[in-house]
Each structure stands twice: as C-alpha cells, then as structure tokens.
Amino acid sequence: MRKKMIITASILVSLILVIGAFQGVYAAEKKIKIRIPQCVCDETDSTVRFVLGSLNGVKSVDSNPVNQSATVVFDDTKTNFEQIRDALRKRNVTVLGKPDYLN
C-alpha cells in the first residue's frame, strides 16, 4: 500500500513538473497592425507610444502617422487586442476595425 502511494505521488509530481515546463510553449509573440485615424499628429503619436508601451505584455510599438496605423508586438499570454484597444480608448484614441495579424 505504501509503495503504491509513493509511486502515485511520484507520477503526480512528475506530471506537474512536465506541465510547468511546457506552460510557455503555447504562448506566442503576436504582431498586429491597427488603424488609428487620428494618428496624424505628434501628440497622438506620443500618446499611442506611451499608452501601449506601458501596457503589460507589449514588447514594442511602432506608430506610423503617415499610414495612420501602429504595429504592436505583444505576448498573448499577458495581453490581447481587446486590452490594447481599450487602453487606447481610455485616452480617447480610436482604433478602427479588427487588427491585421502579421505573424
């Protein structure tokens, strides 16, 4: 009986360690392009860079006032498009439509 409990406990511990080791495997770095129609001035450009740069999970932001867009690279286990859009909306920056996924 004691031997079965030790074996069962060992299997459970091994399983937990394996699951923990592969936890980050499903995480992916996403790269999206979003349309920001008012991103034509330095003020909005700075706001977009500041807001998204301070959002947890966002790795880089490249706003392009000429194309009225921003390219955002983020960790999808920490944030997503909806959180990115909502963070910008709170600062009165409009995001049009759905993002274009670049990877």
For the cut 80, the answer to whether the pLDDT of residue 9 exceeds it is no
User: What is the widest separation between alpha-carbon atoms in the chain?
Assistant: 73
* Domain-located, residue 1: no
* Domain-located, residue 14: no
**Full-prediction pTM beyond 0.95?**
no
Domain residue limits at 84: 27-101
User: CATH number for the domain including 37?
Assistant: 3.30.70.100
The DSSP bridge partners found for residue 61 are 72
Segment holding 29, helix H or strand E: strand 29-35
* Domain-located, residue 87: yes
Report the percent of the chain where pLDDT is more than 70.
78
For the cut 70, the answer to whether the pLDDT of residue 18 exceeds it is no
For the cut 70, the answer to whether the pLDDT of residue 14 exceeds it is no
Helix (H, G, I), strand (E, B) or coil at 27: coil
pLDDT band at 48 (very low <50, low <70, confident <90, very high): very high
Domain count, the chain: 1
pLDDT, position 99: 95
* Domain-located, residue 11: no
* Domain-located, residue 35: yes
